[in-house]
Chains A and B, each alone.
Chain A
Amino acid sequence: MASRLPAIMRTTAARLSALYFVLFALCAVVLVFYMTSLSASMLTAQTMETINEEVQGLDRAYRRGGLPFLVRVVEQRSRQPGANLYLIADANGRILTGNVESLEPGVLETEGWTERPFMYQRYGEGSDERRQPNISELEAPTAAPTETRHAAIALISRLPNQMIVLVGRDLGEPERFQKVVKRALTFALGIMALGGLLIWYFVGRRALKRIDSVSEAGKRIMGGDLSGRLPVTGAGDEFDRLSENLNTMLTRIAGLNEGLKQVSDNIAHDLKTPLTRLRNRAEAALAGDPGEAGYREALEATIAESDRLIKTFNAILMISRLEAGYSAEALAKVDLAATVHDVVELYEPAAEEVGVTLEAPAIGSIVVDGNRELIGQALSNIVDNAIKYSASSSEKPKVDVTIDEKDGEISVKVADNGPGIPDENDRARATERFVRLERSRTQPGSGLGLSLAKAVMKFHGGRLELLPGNPGLTVTMTFPKRRSE
C-alpha cells in the first residue's frame, strides 16, 4: 500500500500542478546556470578586449616618451577611481609603480595572458598606512587578509629593456556573482510557483469541474433517471465531444431498453390470450367427460396451440436479439441470387397449390454481406405473405421476385397483385410487432413476419420498405453497399 496522499494531492489538478512546477523549476535552474556562465564568459571576453586596448595605449606612450612617460601615464591612470590594475616591475619582478600592492607569486613570470584568474591586493587596501610594496610581501601574499584580496585577469608584457608591464582587470567578488545567480533563481522559481498555481486554477477549478459535472450527471442517470443526459456546453471541445458521444450511447441504451419494454408488453398482451385459450381448453376437457376421442382431440389441440405459442415466442426473441445488434460475426458473403432462387423454389409448389404463380428470373450470382439463414427467413416471410394475399386477387394471382442494383445498393423486390395496402400509415404500421391490419385478421399468422423481416434488414444495415404496387403491394429488401470486396 502506498502511503495516503493528502486529499488535495489526490485531485488530478494538484498532481498536474506539482508535476509542472518540478519540471519548470528544473528548467529554470538549468537556464539560469547556462545564462550566467554564458554572460560570465562574455564579460571576460569584453574585459580582455579592454585590456588589449590599454596595452596598446601604453605601448604608444612608451614609444613616444620612453619609460618616464610610461610611468607617468601609468601612475595617472592608476589613480582614477575604478581604474584597471596597472603594474610596472623590473626584470626581477620588483614592483616599481602601479596600483597593485601584492599578487600571487609566479604571475609575472610568464608573458601573455594569465592562464587563470589570480589573487592580488590593491595598493592601499592591505593595511591602514600607506607602505611601499616590498618583495617579502610579494612572496607571501597569503598573509594578507582575505577580504581585501580580489580575483583578476591580466596581460603581462615585457618592455625592450626587460621591464615587466601588467595590465589587468578585477573580476569582481565571486560572492556578488553568486548573489546574482541566487536572486535570479529565486525569481524564476517564484514565477514557476505562480504558474503552478495558475495551472491548478485553470485545470482544476474549471476543466476538472466539468469532469465532475459529467460524473455527477452519470450518477443521476445510474440512479434511475434514464432520460438524463450529460451537460454539453457548446464549446465544441474534448469535453463536449465526450459528452456528446456518451449521450449518443445513452440514447441507444434507452432505445434498447424501450425495445425490451415493448417486448414484455407484447408478451403480456399477445401471449396471454393464447395461453388463456390453452388453459380453458384443458379445463373444459377435464370438466366434461368427452370420452377417449374427445380427450385425444383436446390434447392434440393443446399441442397445436403450444406449438403456435413457441413459434411466436421464438419470433419475438429473435426480433429482439436482432434489434439488440446480434453478433456482427454472423455476417459473411452471401449469394443473394442463389438465396432468392432457393426460397422461390421452396415456396413455388405451395404457391401453385393455392393458384398463385411465383416467379423469379434466373440471374448470376450477386454477393452481399449477410447471413444466409436470416436473409432466407426474412425473404420466406415476405414471400409467404405475398402468396397469401395475392391468392385473393381478382386477377390471375401472381408474385414476382426480382433483384435490382441501383447506386451500389442491391435490393430484392417481392411484388404481388393482391389487394395491397392503400393507406400509407397502414403500410408503415404493417412492419410493427403484432400489428395485424384489419384485412389480415382473417389470415393465419402471428403478425410478426414482416417485423422479423424488418429486424433482419436493420441488422444487415439495410432497410425494408412497403410500396404500393400496381396493383398490390411491393416489399423491398434493400442491402447497403458492400464495405469491401
Chain B
Amino acid sequence: MKILIIEDDREAADYLEKALSEAGHTAHVARDGEAGFTLADSGDYDVMVVDRMLPRRDGLSVIAGLRSRGNTTPVLILSALGEVDDRVTGLRAGGDDYLTKPYAFSELLARIEVLNRRATSKEVETVYRVGDLELDRLSHTVKRAGREITLQPREFRLLEYLMRHAGQVVTRTMLLENVWDYHFDPQTNVIDVHVSRLRSKIEKGFDSPILHTVRGAGYMLKAA
C-alpha cells in the first residue's frame, strides 16, 4: 500500500515511515501542508495520514483542497485535539477517520488498512462469507457450515463489522466507534466481553476457530 504521511514533527514522521515500511507498505513523508498538498495532488496514494496542525497550510485545509479537486484518497486525520466537536469538524472537512495523539501504532495501522479496504471495495455486498461462516445482511441471518446461529441485534452488527473487515485487524476502539457509535474510552474490558460472547456463539460446536485475538492490537475474523 502506498501511504502519504503529512506530519511536521520529524521524529514522529520518521517513526511512522519506518514502522509502515516494516509492515510492508511504502510511505512518503511531507513536512508541511503545502508540500503535502502538492505530493497528494500529483502522487497516486492509497491512504493519507494527515496531521491537523501543520506549518504553511493547516491539515484540514489541505484535505478540503484535495476534496475540491476531486481527490477521493481516504484520509486519516491525526490530532492532538480529541474533543467531540474537533472530531466532527475533521470529518466534515473531508477526513475519513480521526485518531487522537498519542496513539498506539497498532491502532493506526489497523485503521489505515481498513480505510484502504473501504476505498477498494466499492460495491456493497449483501452477503458476507468468511470460510464456512455466512452473514446475510438483508434477511439478518447468520449461518456457519449451513447451521443457523441466533444472534442479538448488537452481536449481529458486531459480526457484520468484523466480516466486512475479515482478514484485517480490528481494534477495540474501532469496534466501539463503528458498532456502538461512541468515541470515548471505556474504563473496562466491555468490548472484550462482547467479542467473547460472539465468539462462543460462532465457534462453539464447530471444528475451527474463526475469530482470533491479535495480541496488543485487537481482533481478526479469518478462516483457518
Interface residues of A (CB under 8 A from B): 303, 306-307, 310-311, 314, 318, 321, 326-327, 329-330, 342, 345-347, 349-350, 352-353, 371, 373-374, 376-377, 380-381, 384, 445, 449
Contact of B82 among A314, A346, A371, A380 (CB under 8 A): A314
- Please pick, from B185, B187, B193, the residue contacting A349 in the complex, using a CB distance under 8 A: B193
Q: Report if A311-B185 is in contact (Cβ < 8 Å); known contacts: A345-B154, A349-B197, A353-B193.
A: yes
Within the complex, the shortest CB–CB distance from B158 to chain A, in Å, comes to: 11
B84-A384 in contact (CB<8A):
no
A378's nearest neighbour on chain B, judged by CB, is B184
Question: Complex: how many Å from CA A445 to CA B184?
Answer: 15
- A376, B193: Cβ atoms under 8 Å? no
Q: Which residue of A lies closest to B186 (CB)?
A: A380
User: Smallest CB–CB gap between A412 and chain B, Å?
Assistant: 16
B83 an interface residue at 8 Å Cβ cutoff?
yes
Docked-complex contact B184 and A380, CB < 8 angstroms: yes
Residues 182-202 of B, flagged 1 when their CB comes within 8 A of A and 0 if not, give 111111111001100100000
Contact B187 A384 (CB under 8 A): yes
Given the known A-B contacts A318-B83, A321-B83, are A346 and B197 also in contact in the complex, defined by CB atoms under 8 Å?
Answer: no
Given A376-B184, A380-B184, decide whether A346 and B83 contact each other with a Cβ distance below 8 A. no
Complex: chain A residue closest to B194, CB-CB = A349
Inter-subunit contact A373/B183 (CB<8 Å): yes
Q: Are B85 and A350 in contact (CB under 8 A)?
A: no
Q: Decide yes or no: A381 and B187 within 8 Å by CB, A345-B154, A350-B193 being known contacts.
A: yes
Q: Find the A residue at minimum CB distance from B187.
A: A384
- Verify if B180 is at the interface (C-beta below 8 Å from A): yes
Using CB atoms, name the residue of chain B closest to A388: B188
* Chain B positions within 8 Å of A449 at CB level: 187
Interface of A is mostly: helix
Q: Name A339's closest neighbour in chain B (CB-CB).
A: B182
Q: Given contacts A310-B102, A330-B85, are A376 and B182 in contact (CB under 8 A)? A: yes
| Minimal beta-carbon separation of A64 from chain B (angstroms) | 110
- How far apart are the CA atoms of A318 and B183 in the complex, in Å? 13
Tell whether A374 pairs with B84 under 8 Å between CB atoms, given A380-B186, A449-B187: yes
Please indicate the chain A residues that have their CB under 8 angstroms from the CB of B102 in the complex: 306, 310
Could you tell me the distance between the alpha carbons of A139 and B100 in the complex, rounded to whole angstroms?
Answer: 113
Q: Which residue of B lies closest to A318 (CB)?
A: B83
A-B pairs with the 9 shortest C-beta distances?
A349-B193, A377-B184, A350-B190, A350-B193, A384-B187, A373-B84, A376-B182, A330-B85, A353-B193
Interfacial chain A residues near B85, Cβ < 8 Å: 327, 329-330
- Whether B180 and A342, one on each chain, are in contact in the complex, defined by CB atoms closer than 8 angstroms, is yes
In the assembled complex, the CB of B15 is this many whole angstroms from the nearest CB of chain A, namely: 15
Q: Is the CB of A373 within 8 A of B184?
A: yes
Instruction: Determine the distance from Cα of A329 to Cα of B187 in the docked complex, in whole angstroms.
Output: 27
What are 30 A-B contacts with C-beta separation under 8 Å? Answer: A303-B104, A306-B102, A307-B104, A326-B83, A327-B85, A329-B85, A330-B84, A330-B85, A342-B180, A345-B154, A346-B180, A346-B182, A346-B190, A347-B190, A349-B190, A349-B193, A350-B188, A350-B189, A353-B193, A373-B84, A373-B182, A373-B184, A374-B84, A376-B182, A376-B184, A380-B187, A384-B186, A384-B187, A384-B188, A449-B187
Closest to B185 in A: A311
Instruction: Give the contacts of B81-104 with A (CB-CB under 8 A).
Output: 82-85, 100, 102, 104
Query: Most chain-A Cβ atoms within 10 A of its Cβ — which of B82, B83, B185?
Result: B83
Q: Give the docked Cα–Cα distance between A306 and B197 (Å).
A: 30
Whole-angstrom CA separation of A326 from B82 in the bound complex: 13
Chain A residues with CB under 8 Å of B185's CB are 311, 314
Give chain B interface residues in 103-157, CB to chain A under 8 Å: 104, 154
Which residues of the partner chain A approach B193 to less than 8 Å between Cβ atoms? 349-350, 352-353
Nearest chain B CB to A366 CB, angstrom units: 19
Say how far A339's CB is from chain B's closest CB, in angstroms. Answer: 10
What B residues does A377 contact at CB under 8 A?
182, 184
Give the one of A318, A349, A352, A381 with max B CB within 10 A: A349
Known: A342-B180, A345-B154, A384-B188. 9 other contacts (CB 8 A): A311-B185, A314-B100, A326-B83, A327-B85, A349-B190, A352-B193, A353-B193, A371-B84, A373-B182
CA A350 to CA B192, docked complex, whole Å: 8
Cβ-defined contact, B83 with A445, below 8 A = no
- Give min CB distance, A331 to chain B, whole Å: 11
CA distance A236 to B95 in the complex (A): 55
Chain A CB within 10 A, most for which of B82, B100, B102, B190: B190
**A8-B15 Cα distance, complex, nearest whole Å:** 68
A441→B216 CA distance, assembly (Å): 27
Find chain A residues with CB under 8 A from B84 CB.
330, 371, 373-374
* Distance (whole angstroms) from the CB of B186 to the closest CB of chain A: 6
Assembled-state Cα–Cα distance A157/B193 (Å)? 127
Within 8 A of A (CB), among B152-191: 154, 180, 182-190
Residues of B within 8 A of A380 (CB): 182, 184, 186-187
B156 to chain A, nearest CB (A): 13
Q: How far is the CB of A314 from chain B (nearest CB, A)?
A: 6
CB-defined contacts of A346 to chain B, threshold 8 Å = 180, 182, 186, 190, 194
Q: How far is the CB of A434 from chain B (nearest CB, A)?
A: 16
A330 and B88 alpha carbons, distance in the complex (Å): 10
Q: For residue A150, give the distance in angstroms from its CB to the closest CB of chain B.
A: 91
Cα A116 to Cα B83 in complex, Å, equals 91
Q: A349 — which chain B residues lie within 8 A by C-beta?
A: 190, 193-194, 197
Q: How far is the CA of A342 from the CA of B190 in the complex (A)?
A: 12
CB-CB under 8 A from A307, the residues of chain B are 104
State A311–B104 Cα separation when bound (angstroms): 13
For B193, give the chain A residue with the smallest CB separation.
A349
Nearest chain B CB to A173's CB is how many angstroms away? Answer: 86
Residues of B within 8 A of A371 (CB): 84
Residues of A within 8 A of B82 (CB): 314
Q: Which residue of B lies closest to A306 (CB)?
A: B102
